[in-house]
Amino acid sequence: MTDFTIPDLKIKPREGGYARGQEGLARILTAALSLLVEQGSKALTLRRIAAECGLKAGNIAYYFSSKEELLRELLDAIISSYEEAFDAIYHAPDTTAEERLERIVMLILEDIKTKQTTRIFPELWAMSNHDPFVHERVDHIYRRARVVLNDLVAEINPALPADERETLALFMSASMEGMTIFAGHDKPWIGKMPAIERIAVKSFLYAIRAMRPGEISGVVQPDSAPQPA
């Protein structure tokens, strides 16, 4: 288990914003998050969000010019909370890169077990299939989330070129995110998550150490790769 937890939202204060305005911004984004978790993306209308936080629909326009702008800030607040937790682990003193990778993996998989994460991200995946704006924003937040994995791969196997590190980080991220529908909150295999965590840590570390430059891109034949220590 990891000692780090991920807060619901990390809302960045707007430049020149006053305290009451910041409170209103937080109320709106928290209400939008609650609707997304409890009722799904169909509930993310400005009218429903306003009702959820006790405002008139017209008041939302004071903070956001459009639903897209609101969604952009909501997704930014969600991913910023992850970045804060990842950053704390990444800069933990007196730890090896392998130890920090293990903590990141454990944090992500433990977080997948929460109701909020299990509900939010599949909703965003579905929205991104039909909405170009959501598609772009979801890709953006996942790219930001993979930065720490990329950096840790570079520490553990500095010989790998940048594009191969990025591909390996993508594989690791997708492997973990895919567990949401199987072992997330209230899912059939949630009881297997401790075993899945152990498999993920060991297999990711093995893959990172074993890969030779060019192997991921197919330049080096896999059977010529050295075995990890």
Q: Give the pLDDT score at 162.
A: 95
Which tokens in the block code for residue 83?
Answer: 């970045």
* CA gap 170, 184 in Å, rounded: 20
Q: Give the pLDDT score at 229.
A: 57
Q: Are 104 and 152 in contact (CB under 8 A)?
A: yes
Q: Give the pLDDT score at 215.
A: 93
Nearest to 205 by CA among 129, 96, 121, 54: 96
Q: Are 48 and 35 in contact (CB under 8 A)?
A: yes
Query: What's the helix, strand, coil split of the chain in %, to 5?
Result: 70, 0, 30
> Whole-prediction pTM value?
0.85
Q: Give the pLDDT score at 1.
A: 44
Residue 167 host element (H or E): helix 162-177
HSE, side-chain direction, 13 A CA sphere, residue 189: 14
Q: Give the pLDDT score at 56.
A: 83
What is the chain's pLDDT, residue by residue, as a tens digit (229 residues)? 445 456 677 777 666 555 557 788 888 999 999 999 999 989 888 899 999 988 887 888 888 888 889 998 998 888 888 888 899 999 999 999 999 999 999 999 999 999 999 999 999 999 999 999 999 989 998 999 899 999 999 999 999 999 999 999 999 999 999 999 999 999 999 999 999 999 999 999 999 999 999 999 988 655 555 555 5
Which tokens in the block code for residue 180?
Answer: 């949401």
* CA gap 160, 216 in Å, rounded: 9
HSE, side-chain direction, 13 A CA sphere, residue 166: 7
